[in-house]
């Protein structure tokens, strides 16, 4: 572990954005305490005020402080995307491991179904699922998680296939271990690294899709702030209050950028062979 | 090759069947009474009951399923809750609008990404490459609705050059196509560059140089032709993602396409339209997937000539 | 023997690679020359710098490699050109490649472009340097395919590399290389990836072509048996330097440098009835990043002396046209 951090720290970009990402997560965790104003407080006397000393990013159509809402939205995003990622991993990985190990018709069937699902872009799958699961935070988590799960099934199955040919698996089978035991004790520890890397790499995708859903009105509903949703509201007031775009847009781009670069840095730290020709 | 084509085309039939079954399941998975959903929340009981009878919601599930399949096979996808028009009348014209948007955006993305990706790989690790890498990185981190909003603000409101919404003139195409296309271009540029860098590291490139070939021939003939194999697959996936992204883009620019129809129908709980839109979208994706596989098989001489 | 003007003269060549892990001195001061219409064999283990030297002669050294010192002189009727001074992507070197110097590589499967027909690849080589119509080039390519012994050349023209066997691919590569009548053919381990019987065929082909086209050959290999059958002169490389140089019979009969002796000792012999044990050279080739003081071979040399560890020996004359870099042959250090 310390070895990993030592090698990771050699990548300056990775370190910078790693720190930035940690700061963003910190903001998410402490959102309730660090907002300068109440993100939900309606103040009709201060509607549409441009950025000022009192409201760094201005106020929206209800007089709410944009900066506070952006900060709270960070928490919402982190909550939703982390839960969705966890959902995708917890559904996709066990399925992938099981069918990869078992093989046979169940693997064929599962992989065919997975391949069919993978034809559709994640956002489409998410929209369809959200029709059933409803436009709530939980609904979004389920929708995003289920939409991303096929990818995890495919990847997990892939690495499981390569690991299951290893001698220690054969030895475990010869020793009479059951499939559950083999999966948990022998296969999982050896595939956990690429799976975790993959999960890290999908984080920016989750954020983009979550905000897209909210932009469409199918995600997190007002008054709970979410960056995509705030941008949807901003659209209606582009002429008289264009500054409404700044906060949520900047937060989105910075978050996704950090997540992307950290993901790249993690991947490269764990796979030095790939460093040769980039 | 022809066996491949025929096989995949035949696959469309069971795929459509599965799709329709899935849509049926979808309809019934949504919590709530389907008759109430169709009638509207405030409809009187008598209306709800007559709808229930007319649609057969009081029948057992498998009977409903059979009737649904039969109706779809005849081209009847139901009628809209709101307009009371047949679903197919609303949905089918929109497909063309979405197709235009997606096609043009994809064209834009392909041209830009091929150019930038190849040039980037040619000047690998030099300033031009680093610049392109940074720009495309920012591009993939900026969602379509951010670019769209910024575009609208600067070009429609501030400068007044371009219209904000609708689809009536060529000017209406500019912002939506560039918005949707540039996100895809950013994604594809990185991948094209990666494929080209891989191809340029291969032995046959050294052979080409050893023959005395000039660098542009080495890159655009020897490397690109090989990189085209994975690039075509990526473009195919990109087309799928462009169609997915068109949903958001149409919403931003009030583009009268399938995506906006689908989203609106979900927001207004017009389930038949939603089903119709999902059905056609899904069929389009399957078709695109098929086309991409075919193009790939054609481009790779190892498959084509066997 | 009258002094013939050499075709290629390499003087003091140094090629270094600047990587994240350090500077690799792949070629560290190499001098040799290639006479017209003669075959020079370059022998050494993997990593000794022979391939890099070959690429330097073709002007194919790309970053992170750099020619840091030395000259590679190509003697032409109208003057001498220093290849080291040419832009690696420039017009001059591109004119030289194919027409004066051509190269074939070790892995014909990966060295031929998999998406183009082999005939078209040969035609490209021709049309890059000679003005003629496509059809004329096509006919010439078919003739070349026939000349290298590919049966049914007219049909084979339209085949892709994956439709040919390993031996035929290598023949196609040779046809491509010879298409513009180069004065020098550099062959970088051309038979290493082939079966032994095919090897023999390809080597015979190369000898025949050398006679027919009057080409000089720079033959790079780690296989001494191949050298014995192909080369007129031999140069032995170790860790980026030449350790011995002699005509082929001389070097086989009287190998002077301990490394060469070690290489000779490790060849199994079909005619040696004494069943002498094969001797392996102790140790392994050190990393090219290691900066050795003294003779690079000293750590593995059975005759290493004190001076070998501190100073690097120069190439000295040890016989007729025979030089070796070893302190064993110096009168006084």
Q: Which residues pair with C217 in a beta bridge?
A: C39, C185
Does C57 touch chain B if contact means CB atoms closer than 8 Å? Answer: no
Tokens standing for residue A36: 């300068």
How far separated are the first and last CA of chain C, in Å rounded?
33
Confidence at residue B119, expressed as pLDDT on a 0 to 100 scale: 92
Please name the residue that has the structure tokens 């409903």: B64
Going A114 to A118 to A119 to A122, the CA torsion angle's sign is: positive
Average pLDDT over chain B, rounded to an integer = 84
- The CA distance from A183 to the nearest CA of chain B, in Å, is 32
CB B153 within 8 A of CB A244: no
Rounded average pLDDT over C254-276: 72
Measured between CA atoms, how close is B122 to chain A, in angstroms? 13
Task: Report ipTM (2 d.p.).
Answer: 0.86
Interface test with B, best of C103, C115, C129, C181 (most B CBs within 10 A): C115
- At A277 the pLDDT is 42
Alpha-carbon gap, residue B29 to A128, rounded angstroms: 12
Any B CB within 8 A of A217 CB: yes
C42, β-bridge pairs: C220, C235
User: Could you tell me the CA-to-CA distances from C152 to A92, A104, C201 in Å, in that order?
Assistant: 55, 46, 18
Q: What does the alpha-carbon distance between residue A142 and residue A134 come to, in Å, rounded to a whole number?
A: 10
pLDDT in tens, C37-55: 899 999 988 878 889 999 9
Q: What is the pLDDT of residue C212?
A: 87
Residue whose entry in the numeric block shows the structure tokens 């582009």: A238
**B251/A242 CB distance under 8 A:** no
Which element (helix H / strand E) includes C158? Answer: none
Residue C46 in tokens:
């993997």
The backbone torsions φ and ψ at residue C68, rounded to the nearest 5 degrees and listed phi first, read -90, -20
Interface B–C counts its CB contacts (< 8 A) at 67
Chain B adjacent subunits, 3+ CB pairs under 8 A: A, C
Residues B47-100: pLDDT tens digits? 777 777 776 677 777 777 777 777 777 777 777 767 777 777 888 888 999 999
Give the pLDDT mean for C157-171: 91
- Chain C environment of B229 (Cβ under 8 Å): 115
State the pLDDT at residue C224: 85
CA distances from C25 to B147, C18, C218 (A): 50, 9, 22
Average pLDDT for residues B96-105, to the nearest whole number? 92
Q: Is A231 on the interface with B (CB under 8 A)?
A: yes
**pLDDT for the residue C135:** 93
Question: Do residue A123 and residue B15 have CB atoms under 8 angstroms apart?
Answer: no
DSSP letters for chain B: -HHHHHHHHHHHHHHHHHHHHHHHHHHHHSSS-HHHHHH-TT--HHHHHHHHHHHTTTS-HHHHHHHHHHHHHTT---B-TTT-SBHHHHHHHHHHHHHHHHHHHHHHHHHHHHHHHHHHHHTTTSHHHHHHHHHHHHHHHS-HHHHHHHHIIIIIIIS--S-SS-SSSHHHHHHHHHHHHHHHHHHHHHHHHHHHHHHHTSHHHHHHHHTT--HHHIIIIIIHHHHHHHHHHHHHHHHHHHHHHHHHHHHHHT--SHHHHHHHHHHTT-HHHHHHHHHHHHHHHHHHHHHHHHHHHHH-HHHHT-
> How far is it, in rounded angstroms, from Cα C299 to Cα C45?
16
A144 close to A213: Cβ distance less than 8 angstroms: yes
Cis geometry, peptide bond prior to residue A40 (ω within 30 degrees of 0): no
Is the separation of the CB atoms in B300 and B114 below 8 Å?
no
Q: Are B207 and C112 in contact (CB under 8 A)?
A: yes
- A51-A56-A59-A64 Cα dihedral, nearest 10 degrees: -170
Which chain A residues have a beta carbon less than 8 Å from that of B278?
Answer: 128
Scanning the structure block, which residue is given the tokens 């490209």? C124
C176 touches chain B (CB under 8 A): yes
pLDDT at C1 over 60: no
Residue A145 has a CB neighbour count (10 Å cut-off) of: 26
Question: Where residue C128 falls among pLDDT bands split at 50, 70, 90?
Answer: very high
| C103 in contact with chain B, both atoms CB, cutoff 8 A | yes
Nearest CB partner across the interface for B211, out of C98, C107, C162? C98
Q: Before A223, cis peptide (omega within 30)? A: yes
pLDDT at position B211 is 92
* Residue C290 scores a pLDDT above 60: yes
Among A228, A260, A277, the residue with its CB nearest the CB of B145 is A228
Q: How far is residue B254's CA from residue C190's CA, in Å, rounded to a whole number?
A: 64
Note whether B208 contacts C160, CB cutoff 8 Å: no
- Record the pTM: 0.83
In chain C, residues with a C-beta closer than 8 Å to the C-beta of B213 are 94, 124, 128
- To the nearest whole Å, the CA of B248 is away from the closest chain A CA by 7
C19 CB neighbour count, 10 Å cutoff: 12
Mutation target vs A (from B141, B249, B252, B281; most A CBs, 10 A cutoff): B141
The greatest distance separating any two alpha carbons of chain C, rounded to the nearest whole angstrom, comes to: 67
Query: How far C103 CA lies from chain B's nearest CA (Å)?
Result: 7
Q: What is the pLDDT averaged over residues C219-230?
A: 88
| CA dist A6 → A12, A197, A258, A270, C20 (Å) | 12, 17, 20, 12, 17
Q: How many Å lie between the alpha carbon of B212 and the closest alpha carbon of chain A?
A: 24
Q: Are B216 and B286 in contact (CB under 8 A)?
A: no
Which of the four pLDDT bands, split at 50, 70 and 90, describes residue A55?
A: confident
The residue ranking higher by pLDDT, B21 or C175, is: C175
Q: What is the DSSP string of B236-302?
A: HHHHHHHHHHHHHHHHHHT--SHHHHHHHHHHTT-HHHHHHHHHHHHHHHHHHHHHHHHHHHHH-HH
C-alpha span between A47 and A65 (Å, rounded): 9
Residues A120, B274: C-beta atoms closer than 8 Å:
no
- Predicted local distance difference test score (pLDDT) of residue B222: 93
User: How many contacts (CB atoms, under 8 Å) link A and B?
Assistant: 106
Residues of chain C with pLDDT > 90, as a percent, come to: 33
What separation in angstroms does the CA of A195 have from each of A85, A151, A152, C294? 12, 11, 8, 50
Which of A88-92, B61-65, B172-176 is least confident?
A: B61-65
Q: What is the pLDDT of residue B195?
A: 93
Q: What is the pLDDT, as a whole number, of residue C292?
A: 67
pLDDT in tens, B269-283: 887 888 888 888 888
CB neighbourhood size of A256 (10 A):
22
- Where on the phi/psi map is residue C261: left (φ > 0), alpha (ψ -120 to 50), or beta? alpha
Q: What is the mean pLDDT of residues A200-204?
A: 92
Name the closest residue on chain C to residue B222, using Cα atoms.
C113
In this prediction, residues B189-208 reach a mean pLDDT of 93
d(CA C284, CA B72): 74
Checking A16-20 for CB contacts under 8 A at 24+ apart, the result is A17/A257, A17/A258, A17/A261, A17/A262, A17/A265, A18/A258, A18/A262, A18/A265, A20/A254, A20/A258
Which of C117, B76, B32, B262 has its CA nearest to residue A217? B262
Tokens for B297? 């098989």
Please report where in the chains the tokens 């992204």 appear, as a residue.
B245
Is the per-residue pLDDT at A112 higher than 50?
Answer: yes
Query: Quick one: pLDDT at residue B34?
Result: 67
Q: With CA atoms as reference, report the closest residue to B91 among B257, B240, B268.
A: B257
| CB–CB contact B225 C113 (8 Å) | yes
In eight-state DSSP terms, residue A183 is I
Chain C residues with CB inside 8 Å of B305's CB?
Answer: 160, 163
The position carrying tokens 């462009």 is B242
Residues of C in contact with B201 (CB under 8 A): none
Distance of alpha carbon A70 from alpha carbon A251, whole angstroms: 7
Residue pair B151/B175 in contact (Cβ under 8 Å)? The answer is: yes
- pLDDT over 70, % of chain C: 92
For residue A145, what pLDDT is reported? Answer: 94
For residue C180, pLDDT over 70 is answered with yes
Q: HSE (CB half, 13 Å, CA atoms) of A277?
A: 14
Contact B150 A249 (CB under 8 A): yes
- For residues B101-132, b (16+ Cβ closer than 10 Å) or e, as one string? bbebbbebbbebbbebbbbbbbebeeeebeeb
To which H or E segment does residue A125 belong?
helix A122-133
Q: Which other chains touch chain C, taking contact as 3+ CB pairs less than 8 Å apart?
A: B
Statement: residue C266 has pLDDT above 70: no
Closest CA–CA distance from residue B306 to any residue of chain C (Å): 10
Contact A121 B262 (CB under 8 A): no
Burial of B263-289, coded b for 16+ CB within 10 Å and e otherwise, reads: bbbbeebbbbbbbbbbbbbbebbbebb
How far, in Å, CA of A53 to CA of B188, rounded? 42
SS3 C1: coil
Which DSSP category does A46 fall into? G
pLDDT grade for B302, boundaries at 50, 70 and 90: low
**Segment among B16-25, B275-284, C208-217 with least mean pLDDT:** B16-25
- Are B275 and B26 in contact, with CB atoms under 8 Å apart? yes
CB C241 within 8 A of CB C228: no
The verdict on a CB contact (< 8 Å) between B145 and A232 is: yes
What is residue A275's predicted lDDT score, i.e. its pLDDT?
44
CA-closest candidate to residue B104, choices B240, B242, B241: B242
Q: Which of residues 109-138 of A touch B (CB under 8 A)?
A: 116, 119-124, 127-128, 130-132, 134
For the residues B129-151, what does the mean pLDDT come to?
93
Burial (CB < 10 A; 0-12, 13-18, 19+), residue C318, is buried
Chain mean position to CA B227: 23
In C59-151, alpha helices (H): 91-96, 108-111, 118-127, 134-147
* DSSP code at position A65: B
Cα–Cα nearest to A220, from A143, A125, A124:
A143
What DSSP string runs through A230-265? HHHHHHTTTTT-GGGGHHHHHHHHHHHHHHHHHHHH
Residue (of B27, B20, B47, B24) closest to B36 by Cα position: B47
C 72-91: CB under 8 A from B: 89
Report the alpha-carbon distance of residue C246 to residue B136 in Å, rounded.
57
């Amino acid at each position: 572990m310390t070895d990993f951090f030592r090698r990771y720290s050699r990548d300056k970009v990775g370190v910078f954005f790693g720190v930035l990402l940690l700061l963003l997560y910190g903001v998410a965790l402490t959102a309730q305490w660090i907002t300068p104003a109440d993100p939900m407080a309606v103040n009709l006397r201060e509607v549409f005020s441009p950025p000022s000393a009192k409201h760094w990013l201005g106020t929206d159509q209800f007089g709410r402080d944009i900066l506070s809402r952006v900060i709270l939205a960070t928490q919402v995003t982190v909550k939703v995307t982390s839960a969705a990622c966890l959902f995708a991993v917890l559904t996709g990985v066990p399925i992938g491991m099981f069918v990869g190990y078992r093989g046979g018709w169940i693997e064929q069937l599962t992989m065919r179904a997975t391949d069919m699902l993978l034809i559709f872009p994640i956002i489409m799958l998410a929209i369809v699922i959200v029709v059933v699961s409803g436009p709530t935070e939980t609904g979004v988590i389920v929708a995003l998680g289920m939409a991303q799960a096929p990818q995890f099934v495919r990847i997990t199955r892939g690495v499981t296939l390569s690991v299951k040919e290893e001698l220690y698996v054969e030895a475990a089978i010869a020793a009479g271990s059951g499939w559950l035991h083999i999966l948990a004790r022998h296969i999982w520890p050896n595939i956990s690294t690429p799976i975790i890397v993959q999960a890290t790499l999908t984080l920016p995708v989750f954020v983009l899709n979550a905000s897209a859903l909210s932009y469409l009105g199918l995600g997190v509903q007002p008054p709970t702030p979410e960056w995509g949703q705030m941008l949807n509201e901003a659209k209606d007031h582009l002429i008289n209050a264009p500054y409404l775009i700044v906060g949520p847009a900047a937060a989105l781009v910075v978050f996704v950028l950090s997540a992307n670069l950290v993901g790249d840095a993690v991947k490269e730290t764990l796979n030095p062979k790939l460093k040769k020709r980039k | 090759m022809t066996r491949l084509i025929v096989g995949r085309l035949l696959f469309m039939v069971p795929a459509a069947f599965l799709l329709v079954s899935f849509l049926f399941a979808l309809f019934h998975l949504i919590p709530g009474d389907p008759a109430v959903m169709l009638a509207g929340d405030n409809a009187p009981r008598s209306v709800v009951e007559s709808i229930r009878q007319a649609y057969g919601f009081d029948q057992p599930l498998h009977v409903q399923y059979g009737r649904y399949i039969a109706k779809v096979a005849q081209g009847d996808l139901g009628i809209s809750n709101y307009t009371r028009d047949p679903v197919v009348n609303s949905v089918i014209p929109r497909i063309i609008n979405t197709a235009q948007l997606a096609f043009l955006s994809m064209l834009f993305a392909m041209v830009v990404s091929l150019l930038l990706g190849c040039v980037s790989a040619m000047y690998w690790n030099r300033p031009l490459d680093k610049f392109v890498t940074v720009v495309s990185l920012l591009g993939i981190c900026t969602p379509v609705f951010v670019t769209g909003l910024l575009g609208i603000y600067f070009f429609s409101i501030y400068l007044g050059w371009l219209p904000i919404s609708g689809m009536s003139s060529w000017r209406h195409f500019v912002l939506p196509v560039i918005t949707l296309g540039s996100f895809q271009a950013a994604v594809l540029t990185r991948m094209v560059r990666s494929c080209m860098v891989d191809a340029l590291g291969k032995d046959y490139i050294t052979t080409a140089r050893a023959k005395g070939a000039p660098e542009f021939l080495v890159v655009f003939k020897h490397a690109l032709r090989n990189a085209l194999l994975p690039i075509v697959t990526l473009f195919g996936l990109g087309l799928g993602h462009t169609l997915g992204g068109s949903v958001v883009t149409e919403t931003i620019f009030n583009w009268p396409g399938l995506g906006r129809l689908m989203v609106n129908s979900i927001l207004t709980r017009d389930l038949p339209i939603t089903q119709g839109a999902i059905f056609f979208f899904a069929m389009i994706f399957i078709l695109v997937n098929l086309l991409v596989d075919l193009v790939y098989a054609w481009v790779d001489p190892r498959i084509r000539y066997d | 023997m009258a002094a013939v003007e050499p075709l290629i003269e390499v003087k003091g060549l140094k090629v270094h690679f600047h990587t994240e892990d350090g500077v690799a001195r792949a070629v560290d001061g190499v001098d040799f020359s290639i006479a017209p219409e003669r075959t020079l064999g370059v022998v050494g283990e993997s990593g000794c710098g022979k391939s890099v030297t070959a690429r330097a002669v073709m002007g194919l050294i790309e970053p992170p490699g750099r020619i840091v010192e030395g000259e590679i002189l190509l003697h032409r009727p109208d003057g001498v050109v220093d290849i080291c001074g040419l832009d690696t992507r420039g017009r001059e070197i591109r004119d030289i490649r194919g027409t004066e110097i051509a190269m074939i590589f070790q892995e014909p499967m990966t060295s031929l472009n998999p998406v183009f027909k082999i005939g078209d690849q040969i035609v490209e080589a021709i049309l890059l340097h000679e003005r003629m119509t496509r059809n004329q080039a096509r006919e010439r390519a078919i003739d070349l395919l026939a000349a290298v012994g590919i049966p049914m050349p007219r049909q084979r023209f339209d085949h892709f590399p994956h439709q040919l066997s390993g031996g035929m691919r290598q023949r196609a590569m040779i046809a491509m290389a010879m298409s513009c009548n180069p004065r020098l053919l550099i062959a970088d381990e051309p038979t290493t990836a082939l079966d032994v019987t095919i090897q023999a065929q390809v080597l015979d082909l190369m000898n025949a072509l050398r006679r027919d086209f009057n080409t000089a050959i720079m033959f790079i290999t780690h296989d001494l048996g191949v050298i014995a059958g192909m080369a007129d002169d031999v140069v032995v490389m170790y860790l980026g330097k030449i350790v011995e140089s002699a005509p082929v019979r001389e070097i086989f009969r009287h190998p002077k440098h301990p490394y060469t002796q070690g290489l000779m000792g490790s060849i199994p012999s079909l005619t040696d009835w004494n069943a002498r044990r094969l001797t392996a050279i102790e140790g392994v080739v050190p990393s090219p990043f290691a900066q050795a003081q003294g003779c690079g071979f000293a750590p593995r040399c059975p005759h290493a002396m004190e001076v070998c560890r501190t100073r690097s020996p120069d190439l000295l004359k040890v016989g007729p046209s025979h030089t070796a870099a070893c302190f064993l042959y110096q009168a006084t250090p």
